[in-house]
């Protein structure tokens, strides 16, 4: 389950980043990223309790990780 979630979060991050590149800006929004994650999980049929668990995890990651660290983690991951 977590592998699927991580893949969807990576896709959501990439989609948002690429879309912002098209418009020439790289504005980051934690709420926007969480929105992407929620939409991806809902589309995959995850239960509400699972989505809440992931969003809580995202809050912790956002508090401890810079955007650059997250970008580097994504760029070097298998996703």
Write the pLDDT tens digit of every residue in 30-70: 888 899 999 999 999 999 999 999 999 999 999 899 888 98
Grade residue 1 by pLDDT with cuts at 50, 70 and 90. Answer: low
For 28-76, what is the HEC assignment? CCHHHHHHHHHHHHHHCCCCHHHHHHHHHHHHHHHHHCCHHHHHHHHHC
Q: Retrieve residue 31's tokens.
A: 């709420």
Distance CA 45, CA 47 (A): 6
Residue 60 is part of which domain span? 2-15+27-75
Number of domains in the chain: 1
User: Does residue 60 form part of some domain?
Assistant: yes
pTM for the model stands at 0.62
Whether the predicted pLDDT of 10 surpasses 90: no
User: Does residue 21 form part of some domain?
Assistant: no
């Amino acid at each position: 389950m977590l592998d699927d979630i991580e893949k969807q979060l990576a896709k959501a991050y990439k989609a948002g980043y690429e879309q912002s590149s098209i418009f020439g800006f790289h504005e980051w929004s934690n709420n926007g990223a969480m929105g992407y994650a929620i939409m991806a999980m809902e589309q995959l049929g995850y239960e509400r309790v699972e989505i809440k668990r992931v969003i809580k995890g995202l809050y912790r990651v956002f508090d401890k990780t810079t955007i650059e660290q997250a970008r580097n983690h994504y760029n070097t991951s298998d996703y």
